Amino acid sequence: MADDLTAALLHYSMTPELALPRAMSAQLMAIGPAGYVSPVWADWTVLPGLSIYYDALYTGDLTYAASQFDSLLKNHTYTWLQGANGLISAPWLSALVDTSGGSNDGYKKTPTSAVVNAWAYAGMRAFAQLGRWLGRISDAEGLEASAAALKVGFTSLLFN
């Protein structure tokens, strides 16, 4: 999924042909939060939303985004797991961090992961912007409020 998103971003910068990145985006939606990607991998759940955000950003065409917005909103990254401190936290969440062979650079797996929260913040901000582009102002404002709370919690508790 991450490779598809990266390839799509490269494609947008190289050619006006949209068939390949749109097919990749459709694949991300099909296998995204409601599909086989485990909800444990919270950092991956933002990829379908980012894919559609970047499609709208680089093409200026909101048609595909409009057709997928409600599905994205329904499955968006764990906003329901935000605690009073604004952070997303659950004992079963984890991030796809390469920690094999003792190369984890001090990464500590906890229920409140910096990786998960950073990805969630990026996804909320992009998805809120997409909502504004589509005229879904109340949805955008809700996502912006969640992102703002997450940012405050992140900087106060996770920034060292």
DSSP secondary structure string for all residues of 62-83: -HHHHHHHHHHHHT-SSGGGB-
Measured distance CA(94)–CA(114) in Å, rounded: 10
% of the chain at pLDDT higher than 90? 21
- Model pLDDT for residues 44-99, shown as the tens digit of each residue: 777 788 888 988 998 899 998 999 898 888 766 566 677 888 888 877 666 665 55
Mean pLDDT to the nearest integer, 91-119: 69
44-47: long-range contacts at Cβ-Cβ below 8 A with a sequence spacing of 24 or more?
44/1, 44/2, 44/96, 45/75, 45/76, 45/77, 45/78, 45/123, 46/77, 46/119, 46/120, 46/122, 46/123, 46/126, 47/1, 47/2, 47/4, 47/5
Domain coordinates in residue numbering, the chain: 2-157
Q: State the pLDDT at residue 115.
A: 78
CB atoms within 10 A of CB 136: 19
pLDDT band at 36 (very low <50, low <70, confident <90, very high): very low
Q: State the pLDDT at residue 2.
A: 73
pLDDT of residue 128 exceeding 90: yes
Q: State the pLDDT at residue 18.
A: 79
- Model pLDDT for residues 8-29, shown as the tens digit of each residue: 888 888 887 777 888 877 777 7
Type and span of the H or E element at 123: helix 114-133
Q: State the pLDDT at residue 130.
A: 95
Q: State the pLDDT at residue 11.
A: 82
pLDDT band at 38 (very low <50, low <70, confident <90, very high): low
Q: State the pLDDT at residue 4.
A: 77
Mean pLDDT to the nearest integer, 124-129: 93
Q: Classify domain 2-157 by CATH number.
A: 1.50.10.10
